[in-house]
Structure formats: C-alpha cells, structure tokens
Amino acid sequence: MSDKGFGEFLVTEGILHAEGLRQALDTQRSMEGRLDTVLLDLGLVSELTLLAALGRYHSTRTVSRSELARATPDVARLVSPRVATRLLVVPFRHEGKTISIATLSPEDLLIEDEIGLLTGCLVSTFVTLEVRQSNTAAVTLYKKLGFEILGTRKNYYTKPDEDAHVMGLVLDQ
C-alpha cells in the first residue's frame, strides 16, 4: 500500500482534510511508522473509520477486535504462533475448508499461499490494524477483549526508538 495513495484516498473520501494528511505524512517521515498508526496516534481519524476505509481501499473485508476475540483454540492451532508472528496474521475463523485470517497486508498473496499450504484450507483474508506499545488506550482495549502481551519486538519503531508489544489471544493449551 502506498501511504501517499492511501492518504489521498482518505482525503477524496472526505475522511481527512489535506492539512491533516500533510501533518500525518510529516510525522510519519520523522517517526518512520505506518500511516494508519500515525493517523490514529494524532487522533485525526477514529479506529473504526480507518478500518472501514482500509477495507474499501484494499477492496477487502475488515474484522473487528471483538470478532478476533472470539477465535477458538482449534482455529489458533491451525497456524503456529511462530508462523503467525512472522507473517503478522491472526487466524480467527475456520468454517469447512476455509480459514479466515486478519492481516495488515491483505494484498500480499504470498501470505495467503503460505497459510493455504500449511493448513490445507482456502484462505479468506481480512484487514486489521497494528498497535503501538505506547498506545495505552488500544493495549487496554485489547486486554479487555482477552488479549495478552505475548512478547516484545525490540526497536520495532524508530524516531523515536520504541518497542512493540506482540499481543494475541491466549487460548486453552
């Protein structure tokens, strides 16, 4: 996803003003983060509005945190934690021969191919958002939905340097 292209899409859709986009892109350049994260951090758009816009931009479906929280242990076991962390995916539904995954990169067909090969399932991809370690409101909400901090990615963000929490649902072993 081109951040400038997505930003222009938000302006065209009337979700963001041009000045807000300039502010977000300037902030993004100095922090080297993702545009969606910067927009949320600056409070320029709400998470629900941004998620819906990402779905339209990528021509894909979106998944809410509450639906992710309803994932069952059987679904989680279909993709190993190591693979899920490497690909930045969360498997959250398994119906028949189809597994649904949430990802930050719904346009990445290699993710779908790998999950499909590993699980033997057709893959249905949904877009979701990332969370910064310093975004205490989002971390608190995820915890209320049953997510726990599973690990830390050191220096995941730069300018300023910041670690990222790896959060997920801890399901019955």
Looking at the structure of the chain, the number of domains it has is 3
CATH number at residue 109: 3.30.300.160
> Cβ neighbours of residue 138 under 8 Å, at least 6 residues apart?
40, 47, 131, 132
Range of the domain at 52: 3-58
Residues 167, 68 contacting (CB under 8 angstroms):
no
Same domain, 9 and 33: yes
Residues 118, 73 share a domain: yes
Do 107 and 141 fall into the same domain? no
Examine the domain organization and report whether 89 and 116 are in the same domain.
yes
58, 76, 102 — which closes off a domain? 58
Q: Which residues pair with 61 in a beta bridge?
A: 126
Residues 42 and 21 both lie in one domain: yes
Instruction: Kindly give the confidence (pLDDT) of every residue in the chain, 173 residues in length, as a single tens digit, with 9 standing for 90 and above.
Output: 555 699 999 999 999 999 999 999 998 888 777 888 889 888 899 888 888 898 899 888 888 767 777 778 788 889 988 888 788 888 888 999 999 988 878 888 999 999 999 999 999 988 766 677 887 877 777 676 666 676 666 777 766 788 777 666 544 33
- Whether residue 102 is found in the same domain as residue 140: no
- Cα distances (angstroms) measured from residue 151 to each of 6, 59, 81, 111: 30, 32, 11, 22
Answer yes or no: do 67 and 123 share one domain: yes
DSSP character at residue 121: S
User: Which pLDDT value is given to residue 73?
Assistant: 79
pLDDT at residue number 170: 47
